[in-house]
A = this chain, B = another copy of it.
Amino acid sequence: MIVLFTDFGADDIYVGQVKVALLEHFPAAVVIDLLHNAPNFRVEPSAHLLAALQEHFPPGSLFLAVVDPGVGTDRNAVALQADGKWYVGPDNGLLSVIAARAGKKRTWRIVWRPQRLSASFHGRDLFAPVAAWIARGNVPAHTVEEVSELQVRLGADDLAQVIYVDHYGNAVTGLRAAGVPRSATLVARDARLVHANVFADVPTGSGFWYENSSGLVELAANGASAAVLLGVKIGDAVTVERS
């Protein structure tokens, strides 16, 4: 299973081209769109979002992950194997939270370059073929070389920020809920939110925080947009007050 996580836009001209490139090299590929609206150009929140989302995917999954503001520069292209799953993307930090938290991992630099490599669309021209090769279990010789670790490393720690706002207006943070006691108060801008288990537990229009379905702390509101209610956006700091 090849899982796509990009900022290419779900309704734009790019994803279909990536899929054609995948199928060209691996016609039997099963391709899943996980997210194409990762925060444009923003590597750090995307890295934490991907690290949380990938946990629920089965062993053997391969993630083609591209949020790549430095496309066309000399940043490395890499493949990562971490705890039984695979990741292909730019070496700009995007895969580094996963790598830092992994028990067992190996890293390869992609040295292969296609005959026709556009300056701006390595997702199609470079990453997709390599992802297809790994997913089909047959990587041509001399296309990758093992390295000791990623060049850009963001570390394993949680990110105390809003990292994603979904279409309901729920504000996902980079805090893993397992480390936040249910008695804690979450502070974002002027708002102070207490915990609830589920949307229907609070009055309509009221804010709260809860452990979302990916295991992250999420700022939410019942029947309303928490992002609008609280005035928060990606990158805003979130503070945990332990009572």
Contacts and interface: CB of A to CB of B under 8 A. Distances in A.
A72 B56 CA distance: 20
B40 A12 contact: no
A120 interface: yes
Contacts of A53: 13, 17
Nearest to A125: B213
A197 B168 CA distance: 36
The 6 closest A-B pairs by CB, nearest first: A72-B198, A10-B11, A121-B213, A9-B167, A118-B213, A16-B34
A154 interface: no
A33 B41 CA distance: 24
A199 B71 contact: yes
Q: This chain: how many copies in the complex?
A: 3
A187 B3 CA distance: 40
A53 to B, nearest CB: 6
23 contacts: A1-B20, A1-B23, A3-B20, A9-B168, A12-B37, A13-B34, A13-B35, A13-B49, A16-B35, A17-B53, A40-B167, A40-B168, A69-B200, A118-B212, A119-B211, A119-B213, A120-B199, A120-B210, A120-B212, A120-B213, A121-B213, A124-B213, A125-B213
A71 B213 CA distance: 12
B33 A16 contact: yes
Interface string A44-76: 000001000100111000000000011111000
B37 A20 contact: no
A223 interface: yes
B72 A41 contact: no
